Chain A
Amino acid sequence: MGRITFIQHDGTRHTVDIEEGKSLMQTAMDNLVPGIDADCGGSCACGTCHVVLSEEWMAAAGVAKDDEANLLELTPDRSRTSRLSCQITTTEEMDGMVVRLPEFQM
Chain B
Amino acid sequence: MKSGLIEKAKATVMDIGTAVVPMDLQIKGAHLLFNAKKKILRRPDFPAFVESPIPDVSTLAIEDIDVSNPFLFAQNRWESYFKRLRDECPVHYQKKSAFGPFWSITRYEDILFVDKNHDLFSAEPFIVIGAAPEGLSLEMFIAMDPPKHDVQRRAVQGVVAPKNLKEMEGLIRSRTQEVLDGLPLNKPFNWVEEVSIELTARMLATLLDFPYESRRKLVYWSDLAGGGAETTGGTSDTDELFRGMADMAKQFSQLWREKEAKRDAGEATGFDLMSLMLSNDDTKNLINKPMEFLGNLALLIVGGNDTTRNSMTGGVLALNRFPDEFTKLKNDPSLIPNMVSEIIRWQTPLAYMRRIAKQDVELNGKTIKKGDKVVMWYASGNRDERAIEQPDQFIIDRKNARNHISFGFGIHRCMGNRLAEMQLRILWEELIQRFDKIEVVGEPKYVQSNFVKGYSEMTVKLTAKA
Contact = CB atoms under 8 A, between A and B. Distances in A.
Contacts of A104: 161-163, 418
A73 B154 contact: yes
A41 B403 contact: yes
B116 A43 contact: yes
A76 B157 contact: yes
B402 interface: yes
A40 B418 contact: no
A106 B163 CA distance: 10
A15 B77 CA distance: 51
B153 A40 contact: no
A43 B112 contact: yes
A103 B163 contact: yes
Given A39-B403, A43-B116, A45-B115, A71 B161 contact: no
A37 interface: yes
Nearest to A73: B150
Contact of B154 (A37, A74, A77, A103): A74
Interface string B248-280: 000000000000000000000000000000000
Interface in B375-425: 400, 402-403, 407, 409-411, 413, 417-418
B158 interface: yes
Given A39-B407, A43-B409, A74-B411, 17 more contacts: A41-B400, A43-B112, A44-B116, A45-B116, A45-B410, A46-B409, A70-B150, A71-B410, A71-B411, A74-B150, A74-B153, A74-B413, A76-B157, A76-B158, A76-B161, A106-B161, A106-B417
B409 A45 contact: yes
B29 interface: no
Contact of B163 (A40, A41, A44, A76): A76
A45 B411 CA distance: 8
B112 A106 contact: no
Interface residues of B, number: 22
B116 A77 contact: no
A67 interface: yes
Nearest to B387: A41
A95 B403 CA distance: 30
B146 interface: yes
Given A106-B161, A106-B162, A67 B154 contact: no
Contacts of B403: 39-41
A40 B409 CA distance: 8
A26 B202 CA distance: 39
Nearest to B109: A43
**A-B CB proximity, top 9 nearest:** A104-B162, A45-B409, A76-B161, A39-B402, A45-B116, A41-B403, A70-B411, A45-B410, A40-B409
Contacts of A47: 413
Contact of A46 (B153, B161, B163, B413): B413
B407 to A, nearest CB: 7
Contacts of A46: 407, 409, 413
